[in-house]
Amino acid sequence: MMSELQDEIKITYIIAIAIMMILVLFIVFVVFIYNRKQLLYLKEKQLQESEYQNQLLQKELEKQKSIELERERISHDMHDDLGAGISALKLQAEFLKQKAEDEDLKTDIDELLKTSEEMNISMREMLWSLNSGNDTIGSLVEYAKIYAASFLKKTKIRLILEEENIAFERIITTEQRRNLFLCLKEALNNAYKHSQADQLKLSFIQNDKEFIMKISDNGIGISHEKTDGNGLRNMKRRMEEQKGHCEVTNDNGTNLFFKIDL
């Protein structure tokens, strides 16, 4: 009797343990399935987010491409239409000058020729600015050197050019390139009009991701009253818009520093 009772207790104990093990295995299985579903859900969400980001990137690339195509179209139209019109205007003015006998009329025609040449230069600058193929440090440096040499050619100011660690193929944005060039034009114009200098050094320096354009002359410097003039304010504003920096110092003349991060 006692033996049978002990056997029943053992059997019951074994059954209870088996049921507990089955329950534990079931819970482990449920947790495993739940975690697996959660992992699959998270992967699916990540995939959806990645696809969404790819779609946004694709749209942005398409937008940039359409902008570049429009810039190229405008460049071609300006070159073909405005360029041809300015050339025709200059040709007509030169014919009129050859026929003219009145000196006042010849003077007026010379002014017309001068204006048409200035229009032609401005158009070339705009075409250069619009062309996305010029979005490199090398293009900016070379064009700036050509412009500075041409601008100062008929003045008493001697131009000195300097380059340091320039990575010519390094990409620069169209906005950075355009604003740096406009700052150069303003600086050269100020030096010609106000500096009384006979020497100007144009330097281009690159320190890894930092690009510096420095314009130094040996003139009379800028007085404190003129440091907040419209020209300097415009140059500082342009650099701030590009998250860059414009600095002016008076050290044996005027020194202008334009710094941007590439």
pLDDT recorded at residue 31: 82
Instruction: Name the β-bridge partners of 206.
Output: 211
Structure tokens belonging to residue 165 = 């660690």
Residue 186 CA, chain-centre distance (Å), reads 19
pLDDT for residue 151 is more than 80: yes
| 8 A C-beta contact, residue 162 and residue 201 | yes
Q: Whole domain around residue 254: which residue ranges?
A: 135-261
Query: Are residues 114 and 5 part of one domain?
Result: yes
Q: What is the sign of the dihedral through the CA atoms of 6, 7, 10 and 16?
A: negative
Q: Residue written as tokens 């106000």?
A: 194
Query: Are residues 168 and 212 part of one domain?
Result: yes
pLDDT for residue 143 is more than 70: yes
Q: Which of 82, 111, 133 is the last residue of a domain?
A: 133
- Count of structural domains within the chain: 2
Q: What is the 3-state secondary structure (H, E, C) of 29-68?
A: HHHHHHHHHHHHHHHHHHHHHHHHHHHHHHHHHHHHHHHH
Query: Are residues 117 and 41 part of one domain?
Result: yes
| 8 A C-beta contact, residue 193 and residue 186 | no
| Number of C-beta neighbours around residue 92 at 10 A | 13
Query: Are residues 246 and 228 part of one domain?
Result: yes
Query: Are residues 148 and 108 part of one domain?
Result: no
**Counting every residue, how long is the chain?**
262
Confidence at 157, pLDDT banded by 50, 70, 90: very high
Q: What one-character DSSP code corresponds to residue 228?
A: T
pLDDT recorded at residue 1: 59
pLDDT recorded at residue 76: 67
pLDDT recorded at residue 23: 82
The span from the CA of 232 to the CA of 225, in Å, is 12
Query: Are residues 106 and 186 part of one domain?
Result: no
pLDDT for 28-78, tens place per residue?
Answer: 888 888 888 888 888 888 888 888 888 888 888 777 777 777 777 776 666
177 contacts: CB under 8 Å, gap ≥ 6: 129, 134, 135, 139, 140
Residue type (1 letter), 114? K
Q: What percent of the chain has pLDDT over 90?
A: 34
Smallest CA-to-CA distance from 143 within 117, 124, 160, 157 is with: 124
Q: Which of 111, 133, 155 is the last residue of a domain?
A: 133
Query: Are residues 253 and 158 part of one domain?
Result: yes
| Number of C-beta neighbours around residue 146 at 10 A | 11
For the domain that residue 168 is a member of, what is the CATH number? Answer: 3.30.565.10
Q: What percent of the chain has pLDDT over 70?
A: 89
Smallest CA-to-CA distance from 215 within 253, 180, 182, 187 is with: 187
Helix (H) or strand (E) holding 247: strand 245-250
For residue 136, count CB atoms less than 10 angstroms from its CB and return exposed for 0-12, middle for 13-18, buried for 19 or more.
Answer: middle
- Mean pLDDT score of the chain: 84
For residue 211, count CB atoms less than 10 angstroms from its CB and return exposed for 0-12, middle for 13-18, buried for 19 or more.
Answer: buried
Structure tokens belonging to residue 184 = 């150069």
Q: Which of 133, 151, 177 is the last residue of a domain?
A: 133
- The 3-state DSSP class for residue 259 equals strand
- The 3-state DSSP class for residue 205 equals strand
Query: Are residues 180 and 57 part of one domain?
Result: no
Query: Are residues 242 and 149 part of one domain?
Result: yes
Give φ, ψ of 94 to 5 degrees: -65, -40
